[in-house]
Amino acid sequence: MYEFVRQPKWIIAHLLTGLLLTVFIFAGFWQLERHDKRVELNNTITTQIGSKTLPLETFSSTETKRLEYRIFQGHGSWMPEDAVLIRNRSYQELSGCHLAVPVMVQPQEAIVVIVGWLQDTECVSPNPFVPKGKVVLTARARLTQKRGAIGPKDAEKGQLETMARVDVARIDKQTAINLAPHYLELMNADPIVENVFLLEPPSSNNGPHLAYAIQWLLFFGVGIIGYPLFLRRQAIHGENESLDN
């Protein structure tokens, strides 16, 4: 009844089906892993943001593993001469850039602060938008960004007005005083900074990964049940043809 399954064309069909089922199950568990990581990140963000606000002057000495998304507050002075623009940053699906300005918090120590977002047409030079003078700010901590295996690369030397990412070490090369190794995203400032849009808080959305995982696992379920049923149907159909002959 099932002798046909050993024919070359059916062996190829078995292999292709097995390959597809392997892809389905792998993709399903991969999406489940991504969902778990997103949930863990959201829990971390919620915990960090809900923790006690820290003094700005402790930013450099805070352990990196306890730093990201913590809220810092304190006094400082803008350093407009060291401002840079971070290219290719979106805001509510609009293209633009981020304005990054160091803030001096104590003699010979400063922190890079992402002041906010500018629309694409204004991302030519940071000068017209850079705040000046003393400031009292509240901001959330972020870890410095590094270039991965691919992506745009900033020049290692020279004075840059625009950069591909918030690479604090690269900004430090063109700044007169030492910068903290990580940076802040501005949440509030007194006096306020005009003409820029403050960055939105981190998303607490778990994303579509769980739905994608269920989808891939359903595909696997349909395949693992459906293919044997298909083979059985082919076998019955072949047997009926043999009886007719």
How does 105-140 read in b/e, with b if 16+ C-beta sit within 10 Å?
Answer: beeebbbbbbbbbbeeebbeebeebbbeeebebbbb
Q: Helix crossing, 8-50 with 209-244: angle to 10°? A: 160
Delimit the domains of the chain by residue range: 43-190, 208-245
Kindly tell me the burial class for residue 152, based on how many C-beta atoms sit within 10 Å of its own C-beta (0-12, 13-18, 19 or more): exposed
Neighbours of 200 (CB within 10 A): 10
Average pLDDT across each block of 10 residues of the chain; the chain has 245 residues. List them in order. 74 89 95 94 89 92 90 95 94 93 92 96 89 95 89 88 95 93 96 91 87 94 89 71 50
Rounded-to-integer distance, Cα 138 and Cα 56, Å: 9
Cα separation values, 135 from 50, 82, 210, 222, Å: 24, 16, 43, 61
Q: In this structure, what DSSP letter does residue 197 have?
A: B
What's the confidence (pLDDT) of residue 243? 46
Closest CA to 130 of 188, 87, 56, 79: 79
Do the Cβ atoms of 105 and 136 come closer than 8 Å? no
What pLDDT was estimated at residue 102? 96
Question: Hey, is 60 helix, strand or coil?
Answer: coil
